[in-house]
Structures are given as C-alpha cells and as structure tokens.
Amino acid sequence: MDQSKEQRILNSVSYNAVKGDPESVINCIDKYCSQYEWAMNVGDEKGTILDKVVEEADPSVALELGTYCGYSAIRIARLLKPNTRLLTIEFNPEFASIAKEIIEIAGLSEKVTILEGHSEDIIPQLKKKYEVETLDFVFLDHWKERYAPDTILLEECGLLRKGSILLADNIIYPGAPEFIKYIRSNKRFECTSYPSHLEYMKVEDAMEKAVKDPGAAAMLF
Ligand SMILES: O=C(NCCO)c1cc(-c2ccc(F)cc2)cc(O)c1O
Ligand SMILES: [Mg+2]
C-alpha cells in the first residue's frame, strides 16, 4: 500500500536529521514541507512566535492539543527546563505513531508524553490519571471547532491558574471564529493577536495568546 504523507515526512527525518538534535529535526521537516509536500505543521514563521510565548510561559507542565507529526511538540519540548514536561493529545492513531518516532529521533521522548484519544475525553483525566495540578501553557492546534469547548472544559476541570497562558494556531486560516468570540469577550483573559502566515504559504494567518487573570498573577509578585 502507498505510504502516507506523514510516513514520508518520517522517512525524510529518519534519513536526514541528526539523531538527538531537535533543531535538525525541525529544519528537516520545514525543508521537506516547503520543498516537496505541504503539511499542517505550525512551521518556522509561526513557530518563532510559539517559541517566544513558550519562553515567556517557562512552563513546568505544558499541554498541546493536536500533535500531528510532533513538529510543535519538539519546538516546545526543546525549550523546556529539566524536570518539566509536555503532554500532547492526538486523536489520529497514525499521526500519534509517526509523532512518537519523530520525537524519539529528536531525543525528546523523556520530556513528551503523547496521549492518544479525543481531547474532550482526555482533558478530564489530566488531574487524576496524569497527575497534573494546573497547566502553565496550552498550545491549541487541533480541530478548530474544539478550541472554544476545550478551553471551557480546561476551566471546568480546574486546570487553568492565574497567569496560565493559552496560544492558539490558525486564527485566520482555517480560522477559529467561535474561539475568538469566546476568548476576547471573556474578561478573565487578556488577549493578544500575532499576525503571521499559514505554514509554508503566503496566505495570511495569525496566532492568539490569551493569559488568564494576568493582573492577579502580577499582583502576587
Ligand atoms: O486541521 C488542522 N489541525 C488539526 C488537525 O487535527 C490544521 C489545518 C490546516 C489547514 C488545512 C488545509 C488548508 F488548506 C489550510 C490549512 C492548517 C493548520 O495549521 C492546522 O492545524
Ligand atoms: Mg495549525
């Protein structure tokens, strides 16, 4: 049977990347997806915005919704300090399996836990089953119509604290209008838009950062 695009991305990483070097895995995927086959990785332009927000968050526990091939998990995990971790949720079993191998090649398997299933099923398990108290950083990059309900679910499960930082991909393309409506009208969140472009394309896109109760966090220090 023909290989999938995601399997071909893994082949390219496995053949071209330097084992244990996250930067070389990132560069290999960006090269492959800009030169051969477009794929829905966050990419290097939006990836630089992701990097900056992760550094600002300096998370002990980070959550990603939408692993895909593991590209953004590697971007996030390579910036995490010792004894900190990234949990990433992926519903597609093939994507989860490919991501596991690519994250292994990057040498980041110790820092990244891939949770296979639907976000609405896994989020309520994070506290008890995955020993999460609260999440310092959440990257939303899964089904765009799940951004708003899953943000509400994170709140309902008590997983967000004062100062928790959310970052959402694809605010313009494919777009997440319900999420934008919800988060920008919610007084508990301070929102910032980061204009950019769709990965590997000249099409406009943007990322949205939302900080929970920022003032309260600031007053604590
Ligand atoms: O659906 C997406 N992610 C969740 C997957 O489970 C997604 C899609 C696209 C995209 C697709 C088709 C097109 F024509 C343009 C963009 C881009 C992205 O960055 C994405 O994250
Ligand atoms: Mg995306």
Q: How far apart are CA 45 and CA 140, in angstroms?
A: 17
| pLDDT tens readout for residues 7-51 | 999 999 999 999 999 999 999 999 999 999 999 999 999 999 999
Does 144 participate in catalysis according to the annotation?
A: yes
Query: Which atom of ligand 1 lies nearest, measured to the CA of 142?
Result: 4
Q: Give yes or no for a contact between 186 and 211, defined as CB atoms under 8 angstroms apart.
A: no
Tokens for 89? 């949720």
174 Cβ below 6 A of ligand 1? yes
| pLDDT tens readout for residues 54-72 | 999 999 999 999 999 999 9
141 Cβ below 6 A of ligand 1? yes
Q: How far apart are CA 89 and CA 85, in angstroms?
A: 13
40 Cβ below 6 A of ligand 1? yes
| Residue of the CA atom closest to atom 6 of ligand 1 | 142
| The one-letter amino acid at 168 | A
Residue 82 has pLDDT above 60, yes or no: yes
User: Given ligand 1 and candidates 6, 37, 40, 45, which is best to mutate, with the most ligand atoms within 8 Å of its CB?
Assistant: 40
Does 169 participate in catalysis according to the annotation?
A: yes
Helix (H) or strand (E) holding 136: strand 135-140
Catalytic one of 141, 150, 205, 208: 141
Confidence band for 217, pLDDT divided at 50, 70 and 90: low
Residue 22: name the closest of 69, 74, 72, 100 by CA: 74
- Tell me the average pLDDT of the chain: 97
Q: Provide the Cα torsion 66, 170, 80, 183; round to 10°.
A: -100
Which letter does DSSP use for residue 205 in this model? E
Does 199 participate in catalysis according to the annotation?
A: yes
Q: How far apart are CA 215 and CA 203, in angstroms?
A: 35
Q: Output the pLDDT for position 59.
A: 98
Confidence band for 220, pLDDT divided at 50, 70 and 90: low
Catalytic one of 144, 150, 209, 212: 144
**Residue 122 CB coordination number (10 Å):** 20
> 216 alpha carbon to ligand 2 midpoint, in Å?
30
Count CA within 13 A, CB hemisphere, residue 214.
13
The CA-CA-CA angle for residues 68, 73, 180, to 5°, reads: 75
Give the number of the ligand closest to the Cα of residue 167: 2
| pLDDT tens readout for residues 119-172 | 999 999 999 999 999 999 999 999 999 999 999 999 999 999 999 999 999 999
41 Cβ below 6 A of ligand 1? no
Q: Output the pLDDT for position 215.
A: 85
Residue 183 has pLDDT above 80, yes or no: yes
Identify the three-state secondary structure at position 167: strand
Q: How far apart are CA 9 and CA 157, in angstroms?
A: 36
| The one-letter amino acid at 220 | L
Q: What is the mean pLDDT of residues 182-200?
A: 98
| pLDDT tens readout for residues 105-123 | 999 999 999 999 999 999 9
Q: How far apart are CA 173 and CA 113, in angstroms?
A: 28
| The residue to which tokens 């927000």 are assigned | 53
> 172 alpha carbon to ligand 2 midpoint, in Å?
10
